[in-house]
């Protein structure tokens, strides 16, 4: 499943998504994986527009939307995960429910913020060529419930790690 949702106490929903990565070629006309990713976003936008309960959305959304969410904005504009069409779809998704991004809000607008570093980098930490592909968003009514967020970057350095670092978000609900 690419989406699992559960009801939490207090009428709050937790929605966990995995957006398809999209392959290597950012052209829906020649890459069916990229076309599928864009279609998945369209379905998420439609779903998001229908939400009525206060919700927390988490997951690997496979898009780094802001220039500060990638190690080199200009170099990655034609790389899947940071292309203008993906960023536009993510903006539409955020707008469909007026989602709030507490991880970015707490880090600050200008801070470099990554949750993913490629396995291909020999020294991923020194080069710090990351992307923020993992997200935590909240409904507007839960904005003040977020107490703290943190990307656990040291976990990426563990033996046999994921290429993603976990994100922690503490809530007072």
DSSP letters along 22-66, please? --S---TTT-HHHHHHHHHHHHHHHHHHT--S-EEEEEE-----S
- Whether pLDDT at 119 is above 90: no
At 42-65, the pLDDT tens digits run: 999 999 999 999 999 999 999 999
Q: How many CB atoms lie within 10 A of CB 142?
A: 18
3-state secondary structure of 138: strand
pLDDT average, residue stretch 95-117: 97
Instruction: Give the DSSP H or E segment for 125.
Output: helix 124-127
Tokens for 128?
């710090």
- Whether pLDDT at 122 is above 80: no
pLDDT average, residue stretch 72-76: 97
Q: Residues 6 or more apart from 160 whose CB is under 8 A from it?
A: none
Q: What is the pLDDT of residue 73?
A: 98
> Residue 120: pLDDT band by 50, 70, 90 thresholds?
confident
Burial 39-64 (b: 16+ CB within 10 A, else e): ebbeebbebbeebeebbbbbbbbbbb
DSSP code at position 156 = G
> Residue 91: pLDDT band by 50, 70, 90 thresholds?
very high
The C-alpha atoms of residue 143 and residue 87 are separated, in whole angstroms, by 22
Instruction: Return the closest-CA partner of residue 53 out of 136, 146, 142.
Output: 142
What is the percent of the chain where pLDDT is above 70? 99
């Amino acid at each position: 499943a690419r989406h699992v949702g559960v009801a939490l106490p207090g009428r709050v929903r937790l929605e966990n998504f995995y957006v398809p990565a999209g392959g290597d070629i950012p052209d829906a006309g020649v890459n069916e994986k990229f076309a599928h990713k864009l279609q998945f976003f369209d379905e998420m936008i439609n779903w998001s527009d229908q939400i009525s309960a206060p919700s927390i959305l988490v997951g690997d959304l496979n898009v780094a939307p802001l220039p500060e969410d990638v190690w080199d904005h200009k170099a990655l504009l034609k790389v899947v995960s940071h292309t203008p069409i993906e960023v536009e779809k993510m903006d539409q998704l955020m707008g469909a429910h007026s989602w709030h991004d507490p991880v970015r809000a707490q880090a600050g607008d200008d801070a470099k913020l990554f949750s993913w570093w490629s396995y291909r980098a020999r020294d991923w930490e020194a080069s710090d060529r990351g992307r923020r592909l993992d997200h935590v968003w909240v409904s507007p009514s839960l904005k003040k419930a977020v107490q703290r967020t943190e990307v656990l970057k040291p976990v990426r350095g563990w033996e046999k790690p994921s290429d993603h670092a976990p994100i922690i978000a503490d809530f007072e609900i």
